[in-house]
Chain A
Amino acid sequence: MIAAVVSLTLLGAVLGLMLGFADRLFAVEVNPVIAQVEAMMPGSQCGQCGFPGCSAAATAIVDGRAAVTICPPGGKALAAALSAKLGISLDLSDVVDEGPKLAQVAEEICIGCCRCTKACPTDAILGAAKQIHNVIREACTGCGNCIERCPTEALTMRPIPVTLPHWVWPKPQVA
Chain B
Amino acid sequence: MHGQWHEMCGVVARNTGTLLMSLLNEFALLMVTTALVNNVVLVKFLGLCPFMGVTKTLDTAFGMGLATTFVITMASGVCWMLENWVLLPLGIDYLRILTYILVIAAVVQFTEMVVKKNAPDLYQTLGIYLPLITTNCAVLGLPLLSALEKAGFVHSLLYGFGSSVGFTLVLLMFAGLRERLALARVPAAFSGAPISFIAASLLALAFMGFAGLAAK
Contacts and interface: CB of A to CB of B under 8 A. Distances in A.
Interface stretch (B36-44, B96-104, B136-144, B203-211): B96-104
Contacts of A167: none
Interface residues of A, number: 14
Interface string A1-44: 00110011001100100110011001110000000000000000
B128 interface: no
Contact of B109 (A4, A8, A19, A27): A19
B113 A15 contact: no
Interface stretch (B24-32, B84-92, B161-169, B187-195): B84-92
Contacts, number: 42
A19 B110 CA distance: 7
Contacts of A3: 90-92
A8 B113 contact: no
B interface secondary structure, majority: helix
Contacts of B102: 8, 11-12, 15
A59 B106 CA distance: 29
Nearest to A10: B86
A53 to B, nearest CB: 11
B90 A26 contact: no
Nearest to A18: B106
A28 B98 contact: no
Contact of B113 (A4, A11, A23): A23
B167 to A, nearest CB: 24
Given A15-B103, A19-B106, A22-B110, A4 B116 contact: no
A130 B110 CA distance: 48
A22 B114 CA distance: 9
B74 to A, nearest CB: 12
A8 B106 contact: no
Contacts of B117: 26-28
Nearest to A16: B106
Interface string A31-65: 00000000000000000000000000000000000
Contacts of A7: 86, 90, 92, 95
Contacts of B114: 22, 26
A26 B109 CA distance: 12
Contacts of A23: 113
Contacts of B103: 11, 15
A3 B99 CA distance: 13
Contact of B95 (A4, A15, A22): A4
B92 A15 contact: no
Contacts of A11: 82, 86, 99, 102-103
B116 A26 contact: yes
A8 B116 contact: no
Given A11-B82, A15-B102, A28 B90 contact: no
A44 to B, nearest CB: 19
Contacts of B99: 8, 11
A7 B98 CA distance: 12
Interface of A: 3-4, 7-8, 11-12, 15, 18-19, 22-23, 26-28
Given A8-B102, A15-B102, A22-B110, 4 more contacts: A11-B102, A15-B103, A19-B113, A28-B116
Closest 4 CB pairs of A and B: A15-B106, A26-B117, A26-B113, A3-B90
